[in-house]
Amino acid sequence: MQLKDKVAIVTGAGRGIGKAIAEAFAKEGAAVVCSARSVGEINAVASEIGGLAVPCDVADEADIRRMIDATTDAYGRIDILVNNAGAVARLPVHELPAEDWDHVLNVNLRGLFLCTKYALPSMLDQASGCIINISSGAGVVGPRNRSAYAASKHGVMGFTKTLVAEYLYQGIRSHVILPDATVSQMRSEGFPDEDPDSLIQAEDIADAAVFLATQPATAHTMEIRVSQGLRTRTK
């Protein structure tokens, strides 16, 4: 088991990509803190994998601090943080309410920043850690009707590069995964007629997360792009 004795936080762990990552980490021996707003869902996942469920809205700074405190109170450390929680708004720019833009940016970018900010002190004390940020191919392509989502996911890539510059030589590795269209409830709500067999599976992204979380300290792959039938790794 490659993650034995490691403690991992996974946000958005109640379903989809987050659930798949939580399950994959637990299979590799990690103690997993499952976090999301959906209490019933994270309780079910945590029960299944023997983890800890901690409800958290990543748009709420106080909630994030409670999640970090609950993790260190229970396990004494944080080895891995997976910033996966996400939101989307599907409207053209001229019809998009400012509050929808703000919500998407608050969840996808500000929340990711705050989770990272409050997890870092534990990692710095240990002189080790791994941060995995889930971005999206949309942050590269810029699809129509998803301006806030694309902007936030592009921001995740820039933020991750800054984390590498600031913390790699303090023993903390930072990575970003860019999945193309993936089977998820969020995807099916936006594209109900889409064939799920044409999409990436959440387990493919979980495989990429395990790969990154188990890299030796002497190797650093910053970015993985997960595409249907293809994974490209860029150092």
The catalytic residues are 149
How far apart, in whole angstroms, are the C-alpha atoms of residue 103 and residue 2? 37
How far apart, in whole angstroms, are the C-alpha atoms of residue 102 and residue 68? 24
How far apart, in whole angstroms, are the C-alpha atoms of residue 6 and residue 213? 10
Quick one: how many helices (H) and strands (E) in the chain? 9, 8
User: Residue 122 in contact with residue 72, Cβ under 8 Å?
Assistant: yes
Q: Concatenate the DSSP letters of all residues of 52-92 into one string.
A: EEEE--TT-HHHHHHHHHHHHHHHS---EEEE-------B-
Helix (H) or strand (E) holding 33: strand 31-36
Residue count (the chain): 235
How far apart, in whole angstroms, are the C-alpha atoms of residue 82 and residue 99? 26
User: Residue 178 in contact with residue 137, Cβ under 8 Å?
Assistant: yes
**Residue 117 CA neighbour count, 13 Å, CB half:** 11
**What does residue 96 show for φ and ψ, rounded to 5 degrees?**
-80, 120
